[in-house]
């Protein structure tokens, strides 16, 4: 063995790898590897076949609720032999420091381990679930929350998180809609970028930066019927225009890793989809970061029916471009046999090893394998007051005011008797949501706790019924409390485990006997404010129709209760917006605002044949982008700086927004576009910009969106986007349905575009 494998020479060499390969920004993840390929190849040349395969093996160190539980003497021996490249579901600064010591001091090549964990919406300080974070329509607060998550994860000794989930989800029956940004590719792209930049910063080798993972490449959110893990049978245009933009934006933002999806697209599982992973992601997009499978997905290629043996599955995944095997052990147990049977796999193997090593170098682990993990900071950073302050801001910004008849909200609690009904009002565990990493129930302030501390009202709390229970015996007491109250807070929805992985539901109404509880309370005739807690859009047309006011609060994390109280009592005006529309019932799903118009568009007149259901009103109950305020806003003075632009130019679309209300409040101004006549039918609207403004009473601000012609491009043919000549309509408003201003401009020529239109950022200036 040469001096390259041990001691100071090895450190110097790999410091060179880091300096050459990853100088500067996080976005270098997609840069060519040519500058450091010789150095990486030199190290690879010292490795045995077993050691190479070991680098591709990510072993579970435990399960989500039992971290470190599988790290025993046998595992340590495997580390010493170079048989592990990464662990997931591990944590703790001291524990991981010792585990890393074994790798870098006792293994032959002394290559550091990569430690990963699911940090989906916070590590110890838990923020709103990702669907709730998207409801903020505020990339800055999303980035700030991700920065906190990175700090807490890093000081706990971890390098890698499997987030953001950037899957577009248009079917609320799919339980994992909770993990993403909802139904729109433009919003999804902006949320993805914000999370990646917050987690990784501009320098992954810098302080408290951790590796992000864009998942699940390519169309996991399009599962048929909303059934988790099921097939996505979609057109190439839908794949490229709807599901790919957020992944392209993630690659451009520098996501250090990608994860393949469990499911197949038109019969080809992504974990074995060479055209998609090695072709589009690697060759077309130039992405050179690490690609990891999802949990056990390589072995599941046998269930898909495209591999007969684990050895075949290993070969298919490696050929597709999957560098690391998460948890299945297929690479570790069968890749050696696959390479022996087919030596042409060797270059793929070396490429995968090179990307794993490059990722470790980029994180600075070869310079200092112990730079992550700080037991002293672990005690002060986790769930710190400063971090909770950011969590509270995010929670307030995520809350959506769905309706407010007669100005029922905000409440004036002084001297009032408030009935708080619903077990979710005091359910700390559900406030954390699913995938809560190291979040602790004891860290949560529930709605009931916050009301007792802040409201000054007389409270009568009655749980009524458990979130998914069948026991209705508590309903009479809840009804009695409602009758005796001045106002009722009806807190209903799902518990934390109802919206999550493998939690698809055919019915998306209230679980258990909550509907019975809600109808009984509404029948009292008292003013009722519905407070929804849930991880997916629920179909509650009847209940919401009868309530005086309604808030969509999602699962808001550790500061859930105080945030909701601040909105209820008017300390803060709500300004969250729906990242996915609320359906009228499950039978209308999937439905989404950016649909194509049809030759016979939906018509209210049932005597006419049109694209609608006959037993329910047209469209969602509340549309994408919807959200009310305690203030009111006037939109005026739409102006487009030029009547026509070339296919390589931008149009500046300006307007004024005035707070015509009596209180300071935020407003989310939304820009939509439509191509009314094109070579293929185009969506009736497509989001192409938004900005969240804070305006004082009477204040007017000018907003200008700079829309580039390439943002109108459509998927034309294989690997080609095209800007088409013609008129483009622009629509500006407070939601996808609440359009206040309209205008148009013309694109004077056609041109090939290089990027997915919805992935491109619309520059916004505010005066």
Token duo for residue 434: 């699913």
Which one of 118, 294, 374, 443 is the catalytic residue?
294
At 533, which helix (H) or strand (E)?
strand 528-533
Neighbours of 408 (CB within 10 A): 16
- Residue 732 · residue 739 · CB < 8 Å: yes
Helix (H, G, I), strand (E, B) or coil at 2: coil
Contacts of 86 (CB under 8 A, 6+ apart): 57, 58, 59, 113, 114, 115, 116, 160, 324, 356
| Active site (annotated) includes residue 294 | yes
Smallest CA-to-CA distance from 552 within 533, 579, 575 is with 533
CA distance 142 to 190: 10
Pairing state between β 726-733 and 739-747: antiparallel
Closest CA to 707 of 758, 637, 636, 664: 758
Decide the pairing of beta strands 700-708 and 650-659: antiparallel
CB 111 within 8 A of CB 40: no
Three-state SS for 636?
A: strand
Which residue pairs from 365-371 have beta carbons closer than 8 angstroms and sit at least 24 positions apart in sequence?
A: 365/112, 365/114, 365/159, 366/11, 366/14, 366/15, 366/17, 366/18, 366/112, 367/11, 367/14, 367/15, 367/18, 367/205, 369/100, 369/103, 369/104, 369/112, 370/97, 370/100, 370/101
Question: What are residue 741's DSSP bridge partners?
Answer: 732
d(CA 111, CA 369): 9
Task: Answer for the pair 111, 358: CB distance below 8 angstroms, yes or no.
Answer: no
* H/E run at residue 753: strand 751-753
Q: Are strands 487-493 and 417-421 parallel, antiparallel or unpaired?
A: parallel
Q: Can you list the alpha helix ranges (DSSP code H) found in 455-549?
A: 475-484, 514-522, 541-546
What is the maximal distance between C-alpha atoms in the chain? 84
Q: How far apart are CA 622 and CA 231, in angstroms?
A: 28
Ordered DSSP codes for 47-93: --HHHHHHHTEEEESSBTTBTTTT--HHHHHHHHTT--SEEES---H
SS3 183: coil
Kindly provide the b/e burial profile for residues 126-156, where b requires at least 16 CB atoms within 10 angstroms of the residue's own CB: bbbbbbbbbbbbbbebbbbbbbbbbbbbbbb
- Pair 557, 124: CB distance under 8 Å: no
Measured distance CA(92)–CA(108) in Å, rounded: 25
In sequence order, what DSSP letters do the residues of 710-724 get, joined into one string? GGG-EEEETTEEEE-
Closest by CA to 594, choosing from 671, 663, 674, is 674
Q: Which residues are catalytic?
A: 294
């Amino acid at each position: 063995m040469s001096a390259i494998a041990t001691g100071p020479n090895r450190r110097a060499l790999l410091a060179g790898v880091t300096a050459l390969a990853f100088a500067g920004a996080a976005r270098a993840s997609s840069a060519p590897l040519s500058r450091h390929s010789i150095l990486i190849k030199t190290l690879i040349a010292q490795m045995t076949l077993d050691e190479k395969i070991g680098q591709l093996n990510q072993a579970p160190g435990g399960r989500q609720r039992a971290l470190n539980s599988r790290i025993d003497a046998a595992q340590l021996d495997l580390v010493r032999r170079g048989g592990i490249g990464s662990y997931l579901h591990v944590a703790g600064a001291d524990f991981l420091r010792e585990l890393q010591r074994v790798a870098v001091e006792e293994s032959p090549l002394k290559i550091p381990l990569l430690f990963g964990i699911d940090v989906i919406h916070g590590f110890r300080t838990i923020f709103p679930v990702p669907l709730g974070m998207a409801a903020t329509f505020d990339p800055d607060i999303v980035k700030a929350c991700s920065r906190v998550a990175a700090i807490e994860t890093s000081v706990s000794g971890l390098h890698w998180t499997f987030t953001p989930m950037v899957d577009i989800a248009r079917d609320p029956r799919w339980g994992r809609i909770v993990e993403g940004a909802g139904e729109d590719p433009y919003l999804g792209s902006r949320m993805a970028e914000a999370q990646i930049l917050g987690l990784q910063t501009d320098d992954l080798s810098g302080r408290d930066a951790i590796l992000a993972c864009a998942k699940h490449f390519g169309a996991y959110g399009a599962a048929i019927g909303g059934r988790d893990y099921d097939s996505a049978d979609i057109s190439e245009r839908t794949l490229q225009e709807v599901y790919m933009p957020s992944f392209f934006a993630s690659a451009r933002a520098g996501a250090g890793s990608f994860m393949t999806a469990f499911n197949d697209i038109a019969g080809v599982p992504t974990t074995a989809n060479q055209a998609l992973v090695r072709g589009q992601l690697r060759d077309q997009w130039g992405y050179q970061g690490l690609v990891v499978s999802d949990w056990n997905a390589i072995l599941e290629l046998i269930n898909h029916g495209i591999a007969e043996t684990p050895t075949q599955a290993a070969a298919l995944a490696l050929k597709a471009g999957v560098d690391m095997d998460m948890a299945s052990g297929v690479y570790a147990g069968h890749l050696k046999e696959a390479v022996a049977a087919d030596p042409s796999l060797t270059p793929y193997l070396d490429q995968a090893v090179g990307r794993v090593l490059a990722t470790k170098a980029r994180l600075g682990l070869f310079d200092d394998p112990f730079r992550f993990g700080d037991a002293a900071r672990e005690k002060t950073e986790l769930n710190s007051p400063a971090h909770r302050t950011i969590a509270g801001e995010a929670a307030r910004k995520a809350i959506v005011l769905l309706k407010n008849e007669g100005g029922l909200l905000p409440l004036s609690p002084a001297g009032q008797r408030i009935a708080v009904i619903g077990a979710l009002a005091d359910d700390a565990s559900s406030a954390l949501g699913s995938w809560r990493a190291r979040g602790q129930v004891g860290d949560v302030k529930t709605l009931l706790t916050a009301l007792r501390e802040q409201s000054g009202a007389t409270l009568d709390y009655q749980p009524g019924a458990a979130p998914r229970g069948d026991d209705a015996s508590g309903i009479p007491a809840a009804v009695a409390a409602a009758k005796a109250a001045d106002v009722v807070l009806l807190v209903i929805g799902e518990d934390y485990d109802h919206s999550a992985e493998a939690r698809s539901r055919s019915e998306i109404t209230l679980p258990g006997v909550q509907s019975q509880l809600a109808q009984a309370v509404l029948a009292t005739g008292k003013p009722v404010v519905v407070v929804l807690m849930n991880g997916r859009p629920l179909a509650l047309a009847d209940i919401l129709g009868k309530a005086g006011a309604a808030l969509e609060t999602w699962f808001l994390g550790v500061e859930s209760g105080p945030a909701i109280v601040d909105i209820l009592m008017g300390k803060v005006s709500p300004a969250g917006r729906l990242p996915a529309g609320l359906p009228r019932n499950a039978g209308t799903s999937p439905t989404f605002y950016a649909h194509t118009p049809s030759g016979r568009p939906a018509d209210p007149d049932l005597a006419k044949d049109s694209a609608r259901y006959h037993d329910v009103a047209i469209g969602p109950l509340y549309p994408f982008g919807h959200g009310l305020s305690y203030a009111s806003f006037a939109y005026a003075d739409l102006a487009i700086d030029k009547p026509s632009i070339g296919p390589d130019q931008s149009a500046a679309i300006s307007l004024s927004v005035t707070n015509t209300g009596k209180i300071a409040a935020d407003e989310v101004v939304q820009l939509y576009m439509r191509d009314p006549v094109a070579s293929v039918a185009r969506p009736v609207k497509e989001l192409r910009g938004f900005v969240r403004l804070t305006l004082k009473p009477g204040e007017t601000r000018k907003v200008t969106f700079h829309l580039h012609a390439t943002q109108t491009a459509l998927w034309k043919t294989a690997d080609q986007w095209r800007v088409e000549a013609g008129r483009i309509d622009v629509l500006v408003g407070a939601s996808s349905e609440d359009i206040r201003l309209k205008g148009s401009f013309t694109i004077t020529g056609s041109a090939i575009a290089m990027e997915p239109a919805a992935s491109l950022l619309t520059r916004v200036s505010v005066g």
